[in-house]
């Protein structure tokens, strides 16, 4: 069993050592809960569970604590992919829900599995998700003071379960101050992708990740025989012509874990089957 989670780049939030320590501690606590959960649940279920916990933590830019867009509204995106079934589902620019990842989970039951904007909001309401404001005082202060975000905040999880199945889940509160209607990478296969060989979740500047097709490239290259390290290095080298800002985490069917970032620093936490590790 393997789990790797990320909490986005530090640059999307405070640079203080205190905030970095808080994020590290939060990731370890979430990782511990996800490990326990994985013992009786699948990779897909565990990835969703871990991301929902990240969404519930205001330290991260997903769910509670999401960035505010230029018109003063919060719109979030999230996606999941089951490596075993090759099913992908997600929501784009959804509003007024606590956990967008749970709406993505519900959409796995549907034929139409990716919804955006008003359609995603309507679906959530009709499915019984309660209206919930994810705005925090810190995000409101940032917005009112016109503090610009770097747009690099996302959370994600990749999992290998005891049956050898893989899954990826990703959620974001957006870029911050973006034009309403902007689509991030998080609910696309550029930012969240898995098959029976590999699972990948990305964070960074969505436009750069989509331009590169990052998650899909890494998974495809592993499927074609590259190691995780080789697939990452080749795919990240293709970000260089436009100085692409991205990070990614992955787990392979063999239990290998890997992560890489084009610009420091992301906070990661992993469980390799024997011990926990936090990377910053």
What is the pLDDT, as a whole number, of residue 148?
A: 53
pTM of the model: 0.93
Nearest CA to 87 out of 47, 44, 41, 37 is that of 44
pLDDT reading at 259 higher than 80: yes
What is the pLDDT, as a whole number, of residue 152?
A: 54
pLDDT reading at 139 higher than 90: no
177-225 per-position pLDDT tens digit = 899 999 999 999 999 999 999 999 999 999 999 999 999 999 999 999 9
pLDDT reading at 10 higher than 70: no
What is the pLDDT, as a whole number, of residue 266?
A: 82
pLDDT reading at 239 higher than 90: yes
What is the pLDDT, as a whole number, of residue 13?
A: 45
Residue 48 to residue 189: CA distance in whole angstroms = 16
Higher pLDDT, 273 or 130: 130
DSSP E strands: which ranges in 122-224? 155-160, 166-172, 192-194, 198-204
26-83 per-position pLDDT tens digit = 999 999 999 999 999 999 999 999 999 999 999 999 999 899 999 999 999 999 999 9
Residues 87 and 113: beta-carbon distance below 8 Å: yes
pLDDT reading at 176 higher than 90: no
Give me the residue spans of the domains in the chain. Answer: 2-196+263-279
Q: What percent of the chain has pLDDT over 70?
A: 95
162 SS3 class: coil
Active site (annotated) includes residue 170: no
Catalytic residue from among 134, 154, 170, 188 = 154
What is the pLDDT, as a whole number, of residue 248?
A: 96
């Amino acid at each position: 069993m393997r789990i790797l989670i990320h909490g986005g780049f530090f640059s999307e939030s405070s640079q203080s050592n205190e905030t970095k320590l808080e994020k590290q501690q939060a990731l370890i606590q979430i990782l511990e809960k996800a490990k326990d959960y994985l013992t009786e649940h699948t990779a897909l279920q565990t990835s969703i569970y871990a991301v929902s916990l990240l969404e519930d933590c205001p330290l991260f830019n997903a769910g509670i604590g999401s960035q505010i867009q230029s018109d003063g509204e919060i719109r979030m995106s999230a996606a999941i992919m089951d490596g075993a079934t090759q099913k992908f589902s997600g929501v784009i620019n959804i509003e007024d829900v606590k956990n967008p990842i749970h709406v993505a989970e519900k959409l796995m039951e549907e034929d139409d599995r990716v919804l955006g904007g008003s359609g995603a909001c309507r679906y959530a309401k009709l499915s019984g998700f309660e209206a919930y404001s994810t705005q925090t005082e810190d995000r409101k202060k940032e917005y009112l003071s016109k503090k610009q975000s770097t747009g690099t905040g996302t959370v994600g999880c990749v999992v290998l379960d005891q049956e050898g199945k893989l899954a990826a889940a990703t959620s974001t509160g957006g870029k911050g101050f973006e034009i309403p209607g902007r689509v991030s990478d998080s609910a696309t296969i550029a930012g969240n992708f898995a098959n029976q060989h590999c699972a990948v979740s990305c964070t960074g500047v969505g436009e750069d990740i989509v331009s590169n097709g990052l998650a899909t490239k890494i998974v495809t290259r592993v499927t074609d025989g590259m190691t995780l390290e080789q697939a990452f290095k080749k795919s990240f080298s293709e970000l260089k012509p436009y100085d692409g800002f991205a990070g990614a985490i992955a787990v392979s069917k063999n239990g290998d874990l890997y992560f890489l970032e084009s610009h420091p620093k992301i906070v990661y936490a992993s469980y390799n089957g024997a011990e926990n590790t936090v990377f910053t």
